[in-house]
A and B are shown apart, each in its own frame.
Chain A
């Protein structure tokens, strides 16, 4: 069964600083990988996804993520964080054979002014 770990429970960065959120997955075949963001009291919004092809994927709100098969990682990055990026971020893995979406525990991002 697939699984996802997000090693950082809480990260604090200053506005304008760069950001990297870590995600590691376990999956026996080609994974489909996703990053979702959840603001307080809101539903989950898809930031970006990786199915195949270019291992660097661009998403909304200036986010990007890089798939590294050798490291079983799919880290999320943003070059300059805005105060509005403060939220909970979830990495998720799905499968090409119809397996369920499995979410990581999430990383809470705080942004200092």
Chain B
């Protein structure tokens, strides 16, 4: 069975430009997470979905970040406009439910220049 799939793996954009990341979770997993990981640090939660509903987006910078999970399956995370400080790895993870172990994708490494 395929794991969590993220695309693209790498993205380089100029500041003030928009960027989007895509995540396809493991089939049947109801919970989906987006994490931000800065170099040398642990992942920090941006948003958690239970099916289609964003149940915790308290850490999502809503002035520039947005996310959606259509039909409770795939999810996209968007940044508009990107800033230099957004350079990081964006990780998507999924789990059967919010109490289970999370399975992670390979991440998207964003570089803003």
Contacts and interface: CB of A to CB of B under 8 A. Distances in A.
Interface of A: 4, 32, 34, 36, 42-46, 49, 90, 94-106, 108
Closest 9 CB pairs of A and B: A103-B42, A98-B98, A44-B104, A43-B106, A43-B104, A105-B42, A103-B43, A106-B42, A100-B45
Interface string B26-47: 0000000101000011111100
A43 B108 CA distance: 10
A46 B103 contact: yes
A4 B101 CA distance: 16
Interface of B: 4, 33, 35, 40-45, 48, 50, 55-56, 91, 93, 97-99, 101-107
Contacts of B35: 103
Contacts of B50: 98
Q: Is the interface of A mostly helix, strand, loop or mixed?
A: strand
A98 B99 contact: yes
Contacts of A103: 35, 42-44
A43 B45 contact: no
A94 B99 contact: yes
A42 B41 contact: no
Contacts of B56: 100
A17 B56 CA distance: 42
B105 A43 contact: yes
B42 A101 contact: no
A95 B48 CA distance: 14
Given A43-B107, A98-B55, A101-B93, 10 more contacts: A32-B99, A34-B101, A43-B91, A43-B105, A94-B98, A95-B99, A98-B97, A98-B99, A103-B42, A106-B42
